[in-house]
Structure 1
Amino acid sequence: MTKYLYNISSLLILTFAISSCTEQYVFQNTDFESALVVEGTITNELKNQTIKLSQVYQLEETGPRVEKGANVFISDDQGNEYQFEEKDTIYSSITPFKAEPGRKYQLKIRTREGKNYTSDEQILTTETKIDNVTATAENVNGERGVQINVNSYDPTNTSKYYRYEYIETYKIIAPVWSPQETVMEFSPEIPADPDNDFPGSPAREYIKLQLRNRETRTCFSTKKSNAIILNTTNSLSEDRVHFPVRFISNQNYIITHRYSIFVKQYVQNLAAYTYYKTLRDLSSSGGVLSPKQPGFFYGNIKSVENPSEKVIGFFEVSAVSSERIFFNYVDLFPNEKLPPYYESDCDVKIFLDCEGLPPCNGAVLRSNIRTKSLVFLSTNFNDEYAMVKPACGDCTSFSSNIVPPFWVD
């Protein structure tokens, strides 16, 4: 959600400054208006809950400004208080806790400038667990791929509003790989020794072939969803979810070998669902100068001293459920050609390590080894070296060789 909040923040800055424009306008950010941005969802998971605080940033700035030095805590209607402490870019509860059914929770913030903010009271939503997550080979909008669906059911018919997040992890195998690598080594000058009839040896740089000392063939990449994914069963006769949370083309390299997705389902109340839907719709509205001008929209957090102050964000208390699945490409697409690799150009490049006219190109070869612009594949041990792009022969050039603790082959 962070990306959307900051996109909307920039959008609002422009909207404040340009209420209506029909002619081309060169924007000058002279009337910047700061606003507190709050991201806060606590759940029924027993854990250190987190809150994110930042300030709207100007268009010329590279990213959000974290709100430092704030006093953050959550209180409930039974007199309990849960204090948060600042950790890097977030505020984390000092002690683990979870939201309990029926209790009312309220977020309270005091900035280092002494400004106070408070949220509306929120109650934990209905706890509806994911029944299962499925992956099937399907054609969607004319494209063949893997449809990942979330299934759940609330017999009480009170959940109705859902938000989803996922984290996907996939195995990568470098297609043209060698257990060896090339490095440049320096041999110092050895003086002549006439007494022993040794003429001496000049300083020189040479190519050394050695075994790799770390895993570079098999890697794992992990990515989080960055879209606002919403679903509602409000128009259905029963609160039954069969929702397509993710579609992956069968030509996407991320499913070439083994793929895993961890899906989280948040049950929302109507106010939270409406807020996130508005946030999503504004982000896809087509730009700040489109006819669909948004204006400012408020969440459920307000300034105590100045209720009309603009505050961006929403504090929600949401029941969450999660599920992880794995699948292999060959399970869904048996006997089919694997998707194209991450790097499309894995052609082998041949170098002859000698000086002089072509075919000698030792200087280029050594430069590529020094800068790691190419990696070793093979040699005929007669000064000829076969080299490939790093992504083709060393997956750590763009991924990680650390096996995730949850991974199952």
Structure 2
Amino acid sequence: MKGRFLLYTQLILFVGLVVSCVTEFQPDKVSIAPSLIVEGTITNQPGPYSVKMTRTADYSYKSLNLLETGATVIISDNLGNQETLKEQAPGGTYQTSATGIRGVVGRTYKLTIRTRNGEQYESAPEVLKASPPMDRIYYEYRYDPQETNNGRANGWDVYVDTKDPETTGDYYRWEWTHYEFTFVCAKVYVFGSPSGYYSGIPCCSNCWDIKRCYINCINIMSDVNVNGNSISRQFIQRVPYDASTPYYLEVTQQSLSKGIYDFFKSSRQQVSNTGGLFDAAPASIGGNIHSTSNASLKAYGYFGAVGVSEGYILIDRSKAVGSPVSTADPVIINSLATCVTCANDQYRTPNKPRWWPN
């Protein structure tokens, strides 16, 4: 008994020593100098073109980028044509006019920036290269019986076929945009028993919701392995079964410079890193923006000249297995409410999509 008591005493003393030796770890604050970030392109399609500018915040304060307002932003070409972009509310985004400068295949473009505090930046010149036409946009229905969610079990995989030119050094990117007609331009939650619901306020005019891919969507390719040959079954998107109505999808094929291709490639690698042992070490992604007033100022992002070819497809979802599964909140339209103007931004538009069926 005495030995057991001694053992307990030693154990308590040991635990006490361990606890007393634990010191809370206070990591050093990470701080970086505020730097300009630029995102924008000019294409051979009609404008307006947008340039978004933010500035990195001090990470020891908050991990947000701050809108860069009050700057003078100019797009110019090698023939002397230029346009000063107009800042859009709430700020940080600068846009050309709808009838302003337009990208022309074969011309060289650059971006010039003068910030509100007098810093000056410039992008490296980029030649706008034509994108080959897309030969075919098509879809294939695929059902996965192992998937428990019927909205994901049914799906339509969209593909593109195109032809790579004989020239070497061609680089591509594919993007998609989904438009869906909406009667509701605002909604209000109504509390009730046993449960509440959303009351939908109708739009004052025709209106379309816009959906794009924002996460893990850098869909790029180099022609290094296919030069001069066909590019077949280039995957674009898997369309979900969230309704049985037709699904309208626009697809853009972009011809990139090597510089912007490398920029997107590095960005994709950083986004897809999982923190595994053999992942590439995180690194800042530069771009083609540099300061012309102070070489010590860092800038990130890219302004590119991009050739674009476009097309659309209308997907029939009426013959899928079972019922669709929507993740949207159910809305009851309040026909007596005062209508709301349809917004015209990246998420909604009153302008009918280019190939929308009548």
Match of 1:313 in 2: 301
Contact 1:125–1:159 (8 Å) recurs in 2: no
1:360 — aligned with what?
A: none
Q: What does residue 248 of structure 1 align with? A: 239
The residue correspondences of 1:232-271 to structure 2 (distance < 5 A) are 232-242=222-232, 243-249=234-240, 252-253=241-242, 255-271=243-259
CA distance in 1, matches of 2:246, 2:350: 13
CA–CA separation in structure 1 for the residues paired with 2:125 and 2:145 = 42
Aligned-pair distance for 1:93? 1.9
Q: Distance in 2 between matches of 1:47 and 1:290?
A: 43
- Mapped pair 1:92 → 2:95: yes
Question: What's the counterpart of residue 129 of structure 2?
Answer: 125
In 1, the alpha carbon distance for the partners of 2:46 and 2:268 equals: 29
SS in 1 for 2:76: strand
User: 1:244-271, CA deviations, whole angstroms, 9 ceiling, x for partnerless residues?
Assistant: 010235xx41x43221111111110111
Aligned to 1:149: 159
After TM superposition, list the pairs within 5 Å mapping 1:176-191 onto structure 2. none
Aligned-partner Cα distance in 1 for 2:26–2:357: 54
Q: Secondary structure at the match of 1:286?
A: coil
Q: Which residue in the other structure is 1:39 paired with?
A: 39
Q: Percent identity?
A: 24
In the alignment, what sits opposite 2:312? 324
Residue 42 of structure 1 deviates from its aligned partner by 0.4
The separation in 2 between residues aligned to 1:338 and 1:63, in whole angstroms, is 41
Secondary structure, counterpart of 2:261 in structure 1: helix
Distance 1:28 1:138 in 2: 51
- Tell me the CA shift for residue 41 of structure 1: 0.7
CA contact (8 A) 1:170 1:221 kept: yes
Correspondences of 1:370-409 after superposition (within 5 Å): 391=330, 405-406=352-353, 407-408=356-357
Larger radius of gyration: 1
Counterpart AA for 1:168: H
Q: CA deviation at 1:235?
A: 0.5
Q: Give distance in 1, aligned partners of 2:334 and 2:140.
A: 28
Deviations 1:15-35, CA, capped at 9 Å, x for gaps: xxxxxxxxx975554523211
- Structure 1's 28 and 140: CA in aligned 2 closer, same or farther, altered over 3 A? farther
For residues 247 and 202 of structure 2, what CA distance do their matches in structure 1 show? 23
Picking from 291, 298, 305, the partner of 1:303 is 291
Letter matched to residue 94 of structure 2: Y
- CA distance 1:57–1:322, change in 2 (3 Å): farther
What 5-or-longer segments of structure 1 have no aligned partner?
A: 1-23, 174-181, 185-211, 344-389
TM-score computed with the length of structure 1 as normaliser: 0.62
Contact 1:37-1:53 within 8 A present in 2 as well = yes
Q: Is the 8 A contact 1:159 1:239 kept in 2?
A: no
Question: Matches of 2:144 and 2:26 in 1, distance apart?
Answer: 42
Q: CA deviation at 1:294?
A: 2.4
TM-score, length-scaled by structure 2: 0.70
Question: How much does 1:79 deviate?
Answer: 2.0
**1:214 and 1:106 mapped to 2: Cα distance?**
43
Q: Judging changes above 3 Å, is the alpha-carbon distance between structure 1 residues 57 and 239 closer, same or farther for their aligned structure 2 residues? A: farther
Aligned AA (1:90): T
Residue 297 (structure 1) shift? 3.4
1:4-403 equivalence runs, <5 A: 27=27, 29-59=29-59, 61=62, 63-88=64-89, 89-94=92-97, 95-138=99-142, 145-157=155-167, 160-170=170-180, 221-226=209-214, 227-242=217-232, 243-249=234-240, 252-253=241-242, 255-286=243-274, 292-331=280-319, 333=320, 336-342=321-327, 391=330
Structure 2: 5+ residue runs without aligned partners?
Answer: 1-23, 147-152, 184-189, 193-199, 336-341, 343-347
TM superposition shift of 1:312: 0.8
Q: Which amino acid aligns with 2:230?
A: R
Q: Residue type of the partner of 1:130? A: M
Q: Which amino acid aligns with 1:319?
A: G
1:197-237 per-residue CA deviation (whole Å, 9 max, x = no partner) reads xxxxxxxxxxxxxxx9959xxx9643111122212332114
